[in-house]
Chains A and B, each alone.
Chain A
Amino acid sequence: MDGNDKLKMILGRLLQAIPSIIGIVIVTFVLTRALPGDPAVYFAGPAADEKSIQEIRVSLGLDKSWPEQFWIYITDLATGNLGVSVSTGLPVAEELTRRLPASLELTFLALLFSLAVALPLGVAAATRPNTWVDQLCRVVVTAGVSLPVFFTGLFMVYLFYYILGVAPPPLGRLDIIFLSPPPITNFYTIDALLDGDFETFGAALAQLILPAITLGIFTLAPLARMTRAAMLQVLSSDFIRTARASGLRRSTVLYVYAFRNALLPILTTLGMVFSFMLGSNVLVEKVFAWPGIGSFAIEALIVSDYAAVQGFVLAMAILYVLLNLTIDIAYTLIDPRVGLDG
């Protein structure tokens, strides 16, 4: 297929995502209102009487019927207005553009770290089954899944910050002595580089390393396991025997023939791990005081901050759609048998 066909298919896939996003908008709206707890009571405070609670309810628009509230919500949404978070007092859209990049930056670096460890480890374990590399892979995988994230996080802070003193204090995205770089992408490392400010880049990266490794240790387990399993399976297939019978170099057989074929299941796992990471890195964010989207969502959920929760779920939904699309496109690049229209 040529580039034009591909573009058409990508657009088609994006259009297909619209019904699911509409569904998500409806479901989150209903679910947030079905949550126990009345936000008006919460925000009015413990000393409030019936009258002030009612006033707050009116000011939040919660006195209206659900269909009316829904209509207001979607007309706002159509103009890009996600509402104001009652707990922080800031527009939800602004919170998201600030916090989502913080989470993404952390997630990407964690993913990069776990790929850098998991892929070579899995390949090495598959090519030398039952040797020390394979045992190492097994230990790392077991440790990765069985160590809770908050434990690894706290342990890292204790070791590298408190005992060794090589890491900066785990207090968010940037040490307070640095000014945050001019916001272009809101990825501090990228913004600092775009600004040519290497000192800030280093400081932002230093803050990132510990939480990224913490998160990465957790996610490298499924990746390493899948790499090993996929490689083992591919290495025992007929075409690898053909490649060896043709005298191809070991490296060619391993990387050009075996690894590329093993990439499909690895990519599937990667997609799952990534979406799982985005939703669940709230523990890491808490340990490292990371101003990410996970902790924002949890806080909003606890106080029934409707606008914030709805904004968060919607942002996640769109992110997942984009993620799945990216993975589908990657499939077609790797495997000629996969069509985008599937």
Chain B
Amino acid sequence: MPAPLLEIQKLSVEFRTRSGIVRALENISMKVHRGEIVGVVGESGSGKSVSALTAMGILDPAGHVTSGSINLGGLEVLTATEGVMQQTRGRQASMIFQSPRTALNPIRTVGKQIGDVLRRHENANRQTVREAVIDALKTVRIPDPERRIDAFPFEMSGGMCQRIMIAMALSCRPELLIADEPTTGLDVTTQAAIMDLIRDLSKERNMATMLITHDLAMAADYCDRIVVMHAGHVVENASTEDLFEAPRHPYTAKLMKATPHGEGSLDDIESIAGGLPDLRGELPPCRFSGRCDRFEEICSTPDLTLDEVSEGHFLSCRKPL
């Protein structure tokens, strides 16, 4: 197998806040290969976005990487200078966000915003930029791009804005695309259209794609591999098939039971008891132990690691299913 484009190894991130140190990520590892869509799934606050922002080098200044490494196509992200990272972002690795309306500059035309990215990363003059922007808009199937190029974000629908975001992110043909809940805030039909677009473009361009979502069903539909995160830990990482066939981690299993699917009624959906543990202060080795009904004495022994339990299936649990 070729080397992964993005490899995160044993990454730990802390946030120093007034009320104490929040251990947002602890020893997380994951890989994303070219042509592969990897879903990162978990509840809000499980560390999905923090992992992505750290990989892009745009973590909030309050966040500190305490250990680990991130390799992006040969570049050591954590030791690279800000200048190098600036040139990498948007050209080699791009990111799209949730609520596209607020994620675009409200007082700049969408054409100019895409043009800013193109001009930053590619030598282009005024005329070629306009053509390149129109091309980018065509790529994301925006109707009438010659007219839309001069529109402001507030003149467009949410779905249109997300297409603009994607056009902007992909305008310089990056190798890695991180999509952070790209369909949150869009209606269901638009969600499907946007996800289809992301999948098609990833496959077409052989991009490495990281899809962050809390929607396991969506991840199942679009991803080749799924990484399940809980409270700053990666608890399970397997190909989508393996994971759905035989989830090994109790949390993954519970997540699946909590996800609505075709057959069955609303009553079949179970909620997961409890909430994420407070990430400040002392935490048990397995951060799910407080919510887990398989918890036993052995779960409290330290040094829980993410191990390969079968071919390509990684698990961090002492009492697996």
Contacts and interface: CB of A to CB of B under 8 A. Distances in A.
A246 B102 contact: no
Contacts of B97: 238, 241-242, 245
B105 A261 contact: yes
Contacts of B85: 247
Contacts of B58: 241, 244-245
Interface string A298-342: 000000000000000000000000000000000000111100000
Contacts of A248: 86, 90, 116-117, 120
Interface in A221-268: 237-239, 241-250, 252, 256-257, 260-261
B106 A246 contact: no
A252 B120 contact: yes
A246 B152 contact: no
Interface in B90-107: 90-91, 94-95, 97, 99, 102-107
B105 A239 contact: yes
Contact of A249 (B86, B88, B168): B86
A245 B102 contact: no
Contact of B94 (A246, A257, A335, A337): A246
A230 to B, nearest CB: 13
A239 B90 contact: no
Given A248-B116, A256-B116, A239 B104 contact: yes
Main secondary structure of the interface of A (DSSP, over half): helix
Contacts, number: 77
Contacts of A241: 58, 97, 103
B70 to A, nearest CB: 15
Interface in A249-289: 249-250, 252, 256-257, 260-261
Given A242-B165, A252-B120, A247 B105 contact: no
A337 to B, nearest CB: 6
Interface in B175-192: none
B170 to A, nearest CB: 11
A306 B58 CA distance: 65
A337 B90 contact: no
A243 B102 CA distance: 12
A246 B103 contact: no
Nearest to A237: B102
A246 B105 contact: no
B104 A245 contact: no
A261 B152 CA distance: 14
A263 to B, nearest CB: 9
Contact of A334 (B88, B107, B154): B107
A245 B120 contact: no
A249 B154 contact: no
A253 to B, nearest CB: 10
B86 A242 contact: no
B105 A244 contact: no
Contacts of A239: 102-106
Contacts of A257: 105, 108
30 contacts: A238-B102, A238-B103, A239-B102, A239-B106, A241-B97, A242-B104, A242-B165, A244-B89, A245-B56, A245-B89, A245-B95, A246-B120, A246-B169, A247-B85, A247-B87, A247-B117, A247-B120, A247-B121, A248-B116, A248-B117, A252-B116, A252-B120, A257-B105, A261-B107, A335-B106, A335-B107, A336-B107, A336-B154, A337-B152, A337-B154
Task: Rank and list the top 5 A-B pairs by shortest CB-CB distance, nearest first.
Answer: A247-B89, A247-B90, A246-B90, A245-B95, A238-B102
Given A247-B121, A261-B107, A337-B106, 5 more contacts: A242-B103, A246-B116, A248-B117, A336-B154, A337-B107
